[in-house]
Amino acid sequence: MTENAPVDPTSTEAWKQLAGIADGFTPDLRGWFDEDASRAEKYTFQAADLTVDLSKGLLTDEILGHLLELAKSVDVAGRYQAMISGEHINVTEDRAVLHTALRRPRDTTGLVPAAPFTVDGENVDDAVHATLDKVYAFAEKVRSGEWTGVTGKRIETVVNIGIGGSDLGPVMVYEALKPYVQAGLEARFVSNIDPSDVYEKTADLDPETTLFIVASKTFGTLETLTNARLAREWLWKQLAAAGALDDTDEARKSAVAKHFVAVSTALDKVAAFGIDPENAFGFWDWVGGRYSVDSAIGTSVVIAIGPDNWREFLAGFHAVDEHMRTTPLEQNVPVLMGLLNVWYSNFLGAQSHAVLPYAQYLHRFPAYLQQLTMESNGKSVRWDGSPATTDTGEIFWGEPGTNGQHAFYQLIHQGTRLIPADFITVANPAHPLKDETGDGSTVEAGQDVHNLFLANFFAQTKALAFGKTADEVRAEGTKESVVPAREFSGNRPTASILAPALTPSVVGQLIALYEHIVFTEGTIWGIDSFDQWGVELGKQLALQIAPAVDGDEAALESQDSSTKSLIAKYLELRD
Ligand SMILES: O=P(O)(O)OC[C@H]1O[C@H](O)[C@H](O)[C@@H](O)[C@@H]1O
């Protein structure tokens, strides 16, 4: 334990001031924009390539001033410095928290902390770059066809088997960077212990050209190890069926050696599974699962997009890390966004937070953020074990725009709940398309469809901010009885994040941005954003209950009456 007792944020002067403002708060985005011609400019910030407009948020200079004071009272900057320096700020697991070290460049000139950067007796930069070199060399072999399957055919499909942080990050980044994937290579991702997942993902694959990557920090996760065994059996069976595997242990071992690699911190367990530690890529206990996409856990993506693009991806993270470390709080985008989230959730009653990427390639970003934000900050005790003094952990959710517009935006626009929303988009699409015909009325022939797409982005944030008054609705000739239903209150806060294009660097920047937003909020709430004890009980019980579901009478009898009758019903229904 290296952290002191957290400051109780509610005891700070800033908190009291904010509570005073929140009492009877009536936001007025129309008025605020009218009064201050510089509002958009004043509240638009830059972090690396990300332009972030917070002006449609529910903030004023006074609110912002108190929020910044709050950040100072709990020393967000000092704790960030402690984190990147390797202090054990994950107190409940007594670990350093060093995902930022995964993207420190090879040239350490001017870096903070300075090289040699040693944590718990290990030179972190050397360890990180040695592993990267190993991953890069392996990826190049697969990409060039030098690495082949057991029958000498080059690899065409990489199947990542992992769950949680060993799945959500790689799949999200793979989807985000699809335009960078080498032709002739595909990655797939198996996570669920529902056997349908591994079945569907392997059904049409050729075993001779398939490489499995078993990705698990602990190499002890039930889902991943079960799926890895299923995949191994699939490989053996399919190779045998193709006449490409002799019925000997030796042949099966050789097949595993060419078709299975692993990523883990537990290399002994990798060997026990039958994967040659030579074909395993390590990382360290100071990388949390949900912070691990930029470690060797991303090997499937490195193979798909190549080392050069991966280097760009890491550089994107690092640029935002440096922004977080060096930018004064007043201009510091992750800090400002984290503070606004605290304002919305602790003072204005927001329970959830929508994240709405206007970029189809980012369609898994909301799911990725759910683990990052909710596993990190869904805690009710602080890092010293005392109860949290405030609500913590926003509920993150979302879907890409414009799809969400036709589904749940109704509630964001006109519902009774306050839902702050982050709108994320890029100026340049990977595939520009024109609508050559148009529809003859609203859409001109030759319309650039990305422009049309972005018009929706701008329209939604505008509608949410400024709404539509009853008089404006009436002026359209609306029947009086329907006016209330067609009115939009406005004052629904959004943050707009605009990047030049969805490059590897920008994807890294976006991830780092949210990592540091999570950090800022966790620091204010005084919680350990880097443990996840809340996932353990269910895991333990699943193992305890498994025999009952398999027909063990005594195990069934020992369950509570609800669980017992549910299992009984399941067994009755099961063929
Ligand atoms: O990478 P693994 O050790 O297999 O862990 C996979 C996932 O499962 C755990 O239960 C945690 O909830 C996640 O934080 C973790 O990412």
pLDDT tens digits along 272-297:
999 998 999 999 999 999 999 999 99
Q: How far apart are CA 138 and CA 129, in angstroms?
A: 14
Nearest Cα to Cα of residue 341 among 381, 382, 391? 391
Residue whose CA lies nearest to ligand 1 atom number 11:
164
pLDDT in tens, 372-421: 999 999 999 999 999 999 999 999 999 999 999 999 999 999 999 999 99
Using 50, 70 and 90 to split pLDDT, how confident is the model at 2? low
Helices (H), 145-221: 168-176, 195-202
Mutation to probe ligand 1, out of 93, 97, 193, 221 (largest number of atoms < 8 A from CB) = 221
Pocket of ligand 1 (CB under 6 A): 163-166, 216-218, 221, 224, 289-290, 375, 532, 535
Lowest mean pLDDT among 1-5, 165-169, 172-176, 543-547: 1-5
For β-strands 494-501 and 447-448, DSSP reports them as unpaired
What's the pLDDT score for residue 1? 44
Domain 9-73+327-525, what architecture? Answer: 3-Layer(aba) Sandwich (3.40)
Q: How far apart are CA 264 and CA 216, in angstroms?
A: 5
Using 50, 70 and 90 to split pLDDT, how confident is the model at 120? confident
Arithmetic mean of pLDDT, 309-315 = 98
pLDDT in tens, 19-53: 999 999 999 999 999 999 999 999 999 999 999 99
Name the catalytic one among 208, 223, 312, 375: 375
What is the enclosing helix (H) or strand (E) of 261? Answer: strand 260-264
Average pLDDT, the chain: 97
Arithmetic mean of pLDDT, 3-11 = 93
Q: How far apart are CA 516 and CA 523, in angstroms?
A: 10
Mutation to probe ligand 1, out of 171, 218, 539 (largest number of atoms < 8 A from CB) = 218
From first CA to last CA, the distance across the chain in angstroms is 52
Arithmetic mean of pLDDT, 57-65 = 98
What's the pLDDT score for residue 4? 84
Q: What is the DSSP string of 53-96?
A: E-TTSS--HHHHHHHHHHHHHTTHHHHHHHHHTT---BTTTTB-
Q: DSSP letter for 329, please.
A: G
Do the Cβ atoms of 541 and 555 come closer than 8 Å? no
Q: Predicted ipTM?
A: 0.98
pLDDT in tens, 408-456: 999 999 999 999 999 999 999 999 899 999 998 999 999 999 999 999 9
Q: DSSP letter for 100, please.
A: G
**Residue 59 tokens, joined:** 């903030």
Given CATH 3.90.550.10, say whether it is the number of domain 122-308. Answer: no
292 CA: nearest ligand 1 atom: 16
Q: How many residues does the chain have?
A: 575
Half-sphere exposure of 87 (CA within 13 A, CB side): 11
Residue 3 has pLDDT above 90, yes or no: no
pTM: 0.98
What is the enclosing helix (H) or strand (E) of 352? Answer: strand 352-358
User: How distant, in Å, are the alpha carbons of 66, 120, 491, 498 from that of 27?
Assistant: 16, 49, 6, 25
Q: How far apart are CA 398 and CA 421, in angstroms?
A: 9
Residue 542 has pLDDT above 70, yes or no: yes
Side chain identity at residue 414, one-letter code: Q
pLDDT in tens, 334-371: 999 999 999 999 999 999 999 999 999 999 999 999 99
Arithmetic mean of pLDDT, 172-184 = 98
Residue whose CA lies nearest to ligand 1 atom number 9:
164
